[in-house]
Copies of this chain bind each other. A is one copy, B any other.
Amino acid sequence: MTRSRLCRTFQTAPAAVPRDDGAKYLRSGLAAEGWQAPDWLVPDLEDGTAPDRKDEALDNVRDLLPEYAPEFAGEIWPRVEWDYGDGATSERGRGQIAELVESVGEHLDGVVVPKVGRLADVEDAEAAVEAAARETGRDVDLAVIVETARARSDLREIAQFGADSRLAALVFGPVDYAAELGGRDVGGSPEWPGLYEALSNEASANDLLAIGGPFDRLFRERAGVTFYNGDAYAEYVEREARVGLDGSWSLHPNQTEQANRIHLPSEAELREAVRKIEGFVEAKAEGTGAVSIDGQMVDEATFKNFENTVETVRAVHEARESQTREYYDADLLDRALAAG
């Protein structure tokens, strides 16, 4: 868990598509409102954009940000090309970083670099961001996508590097990762619980954000009707929240809407947290270090978990007051803002 930055939702939008309006998805991401507005919008120059549209994609980002970014409530982090195993691709990524920061750096919060390899490759990516930032005087950070066996192998060292560099977030990329390891969808897909734990732990040990991977089964079909796969995505996001990831990847406004809510404590969670904080504070005033509340032993350690819940609500309240006002009972929200 990190408290320095809010990223419940990391929504990628292909920056150029073969439509009349090639910037259609980028535009709709930047213009999204309410629960459908992601905390981070990620204009995608990498896999979401076809090889022969990379220049168009870069142009679209440069054209649209000056118009839309000032009104966009969240952060903007374009994903560039990169590949630890292919120098030419990473070289193109270096060029994209330089051009983006040079042209629209004032609208960017960071750059997302995919397919990094071992620590040295992450250091190369960070050097590219650092050079662009230094040259332009812009404050631009780095997020890397952990989706290769090498990056997973060096995860601890990569995260420690993040403690003293522009690296601010670790994002999981399950599709490339499964391809690297040769994971197969046989009797269920691979779930990588060890990787999820490590991602959450190493991010927390170095105050980085940890963000989950995309869920690509957007729709499913039953008895001839195709519909949005909302239960499966909600469970996927809950699993990420359970191990302490700060946010989830979204490929669609519906996913953004769900993940924005799931990464807020539920009303029941907040109510329990507030009640136990209030009970524990009272018990401490009477001189006890641990107290049983509703069958649970509550002490300083337990207390911290309930404080986390309340702090998350406060952070979102500060950034998106309309969401907390709509989501919680007014009395409960007041108690939460006052608790502790």
Where the two chains meet, the residues of A that have a C-beta atom closer than 8 Å to any C-beta of B are: 1-2, 14, 17-18, 44, 46-53, 147-150, 152-153, 156, 159, 173, 175-176, 178-190, 192-195, 197-198, 200-202, 204-205, 214, 216-221, 226, 229, 235, 238-239, 241-246, 251, 262, 265-266, 269, 284, 286-290, 292, 294-302, 304-305, 307-309, 312
Instruction: Indicate which residue in B184, B195, B245 contacts A197 across the interface (CB closer than 8 Å).
Output: B195
Contact of A243 with B289 in the complex, beta carbons under 8 Å? no
Copies of this chain, complex-wide, total 3
Contact of B152 with A201 in the complex, beta carbons under 8 Å? yes
The complex places the Cα of A184 from the Cα of B14 at a distance, in Å, of 32
Instruction: Indicate which residue in B17, B159, B182, B195 contacts A288 across the interface (CB closer than 8 Å).
Output: B17
List, in ascending order, chain B residues with CB within 8 A of A49's CB: 289
Give, as a whole number of angstroms, the nearest-CB distance from A240 to chain B. Answer: 10
List, in ascending order, chain B residues with CB within 8 A of A296's CB: 216-218
Q: List 14 A-B contacts (CB under 8 A).
A: A1-B182, A2-B182, A47-B299, A49-B289, A181-B243, A182-B244, A182-B246, A183-B242, A183-B243, A183-B244, A190-B243, A195-B197, A218-B297, A220-B295
A200-B182 contact given A48-B299, A205-B149, A301-B176, CB 8 Å threshold? yes
List, in ascending order, chain B residues with CB within 8 A of A187's CB: 235, 238-239, 242
The complex places the Cα of A309 from the Cα of B186 at a distance, in Å, of 12
List, in ascending order, chain B residues with CB within 8 A of A159's CB: 153
The complex places the Cα of A150 from the Cα of B301 at a distance, in Å, of 16
Contact of A308 with B179 in the complex, beta carbons under 8 Å? yes
A305-B175 contact given A242-B190, A290-B48, CB 8 Å threshold? yes
List, in ascending order, chain B residues with CB within 8 A of A312's CB: 182
List, in ascending order, chain B residues with CB within 8 A of A152's CB: 201, 205
Contact of B197 with A53 in the complex, beta carbons under 8 Å? no
The complex places the Cα of A243 from the Cα of B10 at a distance, in Å, of 26
Contact of A289 with B48 in the complex, beta carbons under 8 Å? yes
Give, as a whole number of angstroms, the nearest-CB distance from A195 to chain B. Answer: 6
* Chain B minimum-CB-distance residue to A179: B304
List, in ascending order, chain B residues with CB within 8 A of A217's CB: 295-296
